[in-house]
Structures are given as C-alpha cells and as structure tokens.
Amino acid sequence: MTSKVIYTGSLRTEAEHLKSGAKIITDAPTDNHGKGEAFSPTDTVATALASCMLTVMGIKAEDLKLNLKGTTAEVAKTMAANPRRISKVEIAITFPETYSEKSRKILEHTAKTCPVLESLHPDMEKIISFNYL
C-alpha cells in the first residue's frame, strides 16, 4: 500500500505516505464549497505533474552531470464543468542556467515523457514551456 487517506470533515482530507510518514492535507476549493485553505485534490494532480517533470529531469541531469538545483515550475490549472474536471494545465519550467542545445533537448524530452504526464487523460490540454536564464 502506498498511502492512506482520511476524511477529517469539513471537506478536508489528510493523506499519509506510509513509507515516510509525510502528510498532505487537501481542502475543497472555494469555487466548490470549500475553504481553499490547502491544495485541492485537483491542485495536487497539476502539481504532481510539475514535480514529476522536475524529478525525471533531475535523474537525467545527474547522468549528464548537469546541475538543476534551483529549477522551478510554475503551475496553472483550469477547471471545466459537466463533468467537473481539469481541462488544462500550464507549466512554465525555468532553469537557473543555460545548457547546451543537446542537453536542452534531452531535458525537455525527458520532462515530456514523465509518468504523470503519460497517465493524464489525452483530452486534458497540457501547455509546457521551458525557460533558460
């Protein structure tokens, strides 16, 4: 088992990663009866995509002897109705330095093949940009 999620009331959940004990709290968003005091479940999906991209690029960067420390990803999520779902995720990845053209292509390809991206519904629009300082 990977995790255990408990509904704590008032549209809030607490998820525990069983191996590490790390916890994530979610709240329903303000546009869906919630307080919006924490990530919503759909926020965690969009954020997981960015985290996955950064993680797999980090693995590849180690192989390539590149430093990705300080790389950021800004995430924007758009919801749709009927049925309520994530219709679009926009991620802007900014690297703290410039890399060779070959390294850029490898990193960008790696990000675009991360497991979370491969798992998302094909109808969800995904806009990914890469920015180098």
Instruction: Give residue limits of the domains in the chain.
Output: 1-39, 40-132
Domain 40-132 has CATH 3.30.300.20: yes
pLDDT at 99 over 90: yes
> What stretch of H or E contains 74?
strand 72-80
Mean pLDDT for 16-30 is 97
**Beta strands 125-132 and 85-95, pairing class:** parallel
pLDDT at 133 over 90: no
3-state helix, strand, coil in the chain (%, to 5): 30, 35, 30
Task: Render pLDDT for 69-85 as a digit per residue (tens, 0 to 9).
Answer: 999 999 999 999 999 99
Side-chain half-sphere exposure of 1, counting CA atoms within 13 A:
8
pTM for the model? 0.95
Mean pLDDT for 80-103 is 96
